[in-house]
């Protein structure tokens, strides 16, 4: 009996000691990494999430209805358990959309969506390219980042820490000083913990995965719905400063309002999986939105409308001009023809509808910051010195320009039509535009490239 009492007392003392060593963990727990998704930009550290809207969806970035999208994980990273969850949660979209997410082996050379599994250490957070922008990324680079350290069940490991469980013993074996143990240290240590049984916060893993795959299918952020949120901007800026976001990045990610066109006639949906969580102190009227972990009825309706299972082409489809594989912009002086010969190398694809595109070459200053004005009537684009071709592109076609020795797309700019530049260097900017159905104007930017500096002496 005495031996049993001694064991019980030793366990009680040990428990008191463990709890005494983790007082620092009573500080405020850091929040989950926000989503960070830029449209048409590279996925680099510090990038910001978003675009300007969602169900709000970018109709110009949706895939063709019925598409089979090839998806792979990168670099042989991620346990079978976490890969299985991500795959299962991503494929929730297939229940409502006429789209197939086909997960393929890591060594598949060409895919549409490439997932990099990371952690808080790499600071890439959660983000995805939007819709067909995925195909703009080089095959060697990810199109989606997932911070899987956010998916771990932190409460489980904290309990193990406080009760002297396996995670506590793991830290002791590493020689950790637990007398001043903080949340940042805790989040770092659980990344390395070789748990025999993976412990995940299932709702976080599911909600985050579905959110990012929503972006990959063309959905944007719901909090950008016009007139939905009365932001208390000062507090929002201070909050996102903690995530190293400056004012411009916060404006772009959180506060900008979508074009009404992209709401597709839907009502604002605070239950959307694409909505940021919003605490009441971030708004002027105390409005708040909890984090959403499940697809809402609104999400199901909009994804079904974008990718209908009962028709070949969605009623929401717009003419799409999609530029990919932009290899280079070549500009040469041809003194025989007395003209600049402008040769872009790229591939253009179209959606299910006839599309018009304008291939535009304009002259800029050497730093590329300003266009050069002109009085020419023919070689003029909006008052600036330029030349262009209008292209009528048939539905569901793909064309790679200047692939062969014989060039099939060149813009010619006669020397005599170029303004006198007094010997100053200049550049040629090549841009593809198409008509924007939301504005009725030729203002939808598709792609951009800038030549090396040139000079022209006449």
Q: Enter the CATH code of domain 321-450.
A: 2.60.40
Instruction: Note the pLDDT of residue 90.
Output: 98
Cβ count within 10 A of residue 423: 9
Element (H, E) at 6: helix 2-21
Instruction: Note the pLDDT of residue 275.
Output: 85
pTM of this prediction? 0.80
Instruction: Note the pLDDT of residue 29.
Output: 54
Tell how strand 426-436 and strand 355-365 pair up: antiparallel
For the domain made up of 59-138+204-306, give the CATH fold: Collagenase (Catalytic Domain) (3.40.390)
Question: Under 8 Å CB-to-CB from 320, ≥6 apart: which residues?
Answer: 60, 132, 349, 350, 351, 353, 355
**pLDDT mean for each 10 residues of the chain (458 residues):** 36 40 50 57 33 56 95 93 95 98 97 94 88 90 93 90 90 88 86 82 94 93 76 89 82 65 68 88 89 92 94 90 92 94 95 92 94 94 94 93 92 94 92 80 84 85
Dist. CA 104–CA 107, nearest whole Å? 8
Instruction: Note the pLDDT of residue 221.
Output: 79
Instruction: Note the pLDDT of residue 307.
Output: 97
Write down the domain spans for the chain: 2-30+153-192, 59-138+204-306, 321-450
Location of structure tokens 């940021």: 276
Instruction: Note the pLDDT of residue 195.
Output: 78
Instruction: Note the pLDDT of residue 262.
Output: 56
Instruction: Note the pLDDT of residue 55.
Output: 47
Please check whether residue 147 is in contact with residue 212, taking contact to mean a CB–CB distance below 8 angstroms: no
Q: Phi first, then psi: give them for residue 283, nearest 5 degrees.
A: -120, 155
Dist. CA 214–CA 54, nearest whole Å? 10
Dist. CA 42–CA 89, nearest whole Å? 25
Cα distances from 248 to residues 237, 253, 256, 306, 321, in angstroms, run: 10, 9, 10, 31, 29
Instruction: Note the pLDDT of residue 191.
Output: 87
Do the two domains 59-138+204-306 and 321-450 of this chain adopt the same fold? no
Cβ count within 10 A of residue 21: 20
Instruction: Note the pLDDT of residue 115.
Output: 97
Q: Phi first, then psi: give them for residue 195, nearest 5 degrees.
A: -65, 130
Burial of 165 (0-12, 13-18, 19+ CB in 10 A): middle
Contacts 24+ apart (CB under 8 A), 230-233: 230/283, 230/284, 230/285, 230/287, 231/255, 231/282, 231/283, 231/284, 232/281, 232/282, 232/283, 232/284
């Amino acid at each position: 009996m005495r031996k049993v009492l001694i064991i019980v007392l030793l366990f009680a003392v040990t428990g008191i000691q463990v709890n005494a060593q983790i007082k620092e963990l009573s500080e405020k727990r850091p929040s989950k990494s926000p989503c960070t998704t830029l449209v048409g930009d590279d996925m680099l550290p510090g990038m910001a999430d978003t675009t300007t809207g969602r169900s709000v969806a970018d109709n110009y970035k949706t895939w063709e209805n019925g598409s089979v999208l090839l998806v792979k994980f990168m670099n042989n990273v991620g346990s079978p358990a976490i890969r299985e969850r991500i795959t299962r949660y991503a494929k929730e979209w297939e229940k409502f959309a006429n789209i197939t997410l086909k997960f393929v082996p890591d060594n598949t050379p060409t895919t549409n969506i490439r997932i990099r599994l990371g952690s808080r250490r790499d600071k890439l957070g959660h983000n995805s390219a939007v819709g067909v922008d995925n195909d703009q990324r080089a095959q060697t680079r990810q199109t989606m980042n997932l911070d899987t350290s956010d998916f771990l069940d932190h409460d489980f490991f904290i309990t193990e820490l406080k009760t002297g469980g396996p995670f506590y013993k793991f830290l002791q074996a590493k020689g950790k000083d637990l007398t001043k143990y903080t949340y940042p240290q805790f989040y770092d240590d659980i990344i390395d913990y070789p748990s025999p049984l993976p412990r995940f916060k299932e709702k976080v893993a599911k909600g985050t995965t579905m959110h990012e795959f929503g972006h990959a299918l063309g959905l944007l952020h719901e909090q950008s719905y016009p007139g939905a949120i009365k932001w208390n901007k000062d507090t929002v800026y201070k909050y996102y400063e903690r995530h190293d976001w400056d004012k411009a990045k916060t404006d772009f990610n959180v506060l900008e309002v979508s074009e009404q066109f992209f709401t597709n006639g839907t009502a604002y949906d605070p239950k959307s999986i694409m909505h940021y969580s919003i605490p009441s102190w971030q708004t002027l009227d105390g409005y708040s939105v909890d984090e959403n972990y499940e697809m809402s009825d609104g999400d199901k309706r909009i994804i079904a409308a974008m990718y209908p299972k009962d028709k070949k082409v969605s009623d929401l489809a717009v003419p799409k001009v999609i530029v990919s594989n932009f290899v280079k912009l070549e500009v040469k002086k041809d003194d025989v023809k007395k003209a600049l010969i402008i040769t872009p190398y790229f591939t253009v694809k179209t959606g299910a509808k006839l599309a018009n595109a304008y291939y535009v070459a304009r002259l800029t200053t050497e730093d590329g910051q300003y266009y050069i004005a002109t009085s020419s009537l023919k070689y003029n684009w909006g008052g600036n010195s330029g030349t262009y071709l209008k292209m009528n592109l048939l539905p569901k076609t793909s064309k790679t320009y200047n692939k062969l020795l014989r060039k099939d797309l060149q813009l010619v700019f006669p020397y005599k039509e170029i303004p006198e530049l007094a010997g100053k260097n200049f550049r040629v900017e090549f841009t593809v535009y198409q008509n924007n159905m939301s504005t009725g104007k030729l203002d939808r930017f598709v792609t951009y490239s800038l030549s090396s500096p040139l000079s022209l002496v006449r």
